[in-house]
Amino acid sequence: MPALSELGNLVIVLVRTRNPLNVGAAARAMSNFGVHRLRLVNPYEVAFREARSAVGASDVLKNAEEYKTVAGAVADCALIVGTTAGRNRKLQHPLRRLDEAGTELRQHLQAGRVALLFGSEKIGLTNDDFSHCHWLLTIPTRKDHVSMNLGQAVAVCLYELARSGPSQTSAPAPPKAAAGVNEQISRVLLEALDRSGYVQPGSEAACESKVRRLVQRFELDPEDAKVFLGMVRQMVWRLRQRKG
Q: Is 69 in the site for a second copy (CB under 8 A)?
A: no
- How far is the CA of 59 from the CAs of 32, 141, 212, in angstroms? 12, 31, 59
Report which DSSP code applies to 244.
-
Which window, 11-19, 47-55, 118-126, 222-230, contacts a second copy (CB under 8 A)? 222-230
Q: Is 221 in the site for a second copy (CB under 8 A)?
A: yes
CB atoms within 10 A of CB 209: 10
Binding mask 189-218 for a second copy (x = CB under 8 A): x--xx-xxxx-----------x---x--xx
Q: Select from 173, 208, 206, 205 the least CA-distant residue to 190.
A: 208
Shortest distance, position 75 Cβ to a second copy, whole Å: 22
Total chain residues near a second copy (CB under 8 A): 66
- The distance in angstroms from the start CA to the end CA of the chain is 56
- How far is the CA of 210 from the CAs of 186, 190, 216, 217, 243, in angstroms? 9, 10, 10, 11, 25
Q: Is 219 in the site for a second copy (CB under 8 A)?
A: yes
Residue type, position 216, single letter:
Q
Binding site for a second copy (CB under 8 A): 1, 4, 21, 25, 28-29, 31-34, 58, 94, 97-100, 139-142, 145-149, 151-153, 155-156, 159-160, 162-164, 166-168, 170-171, 174, 189, 192-193, 195-198, 210, 214, 217-221, 224, 227-228, 230-231, 234-235, 237-239, 242
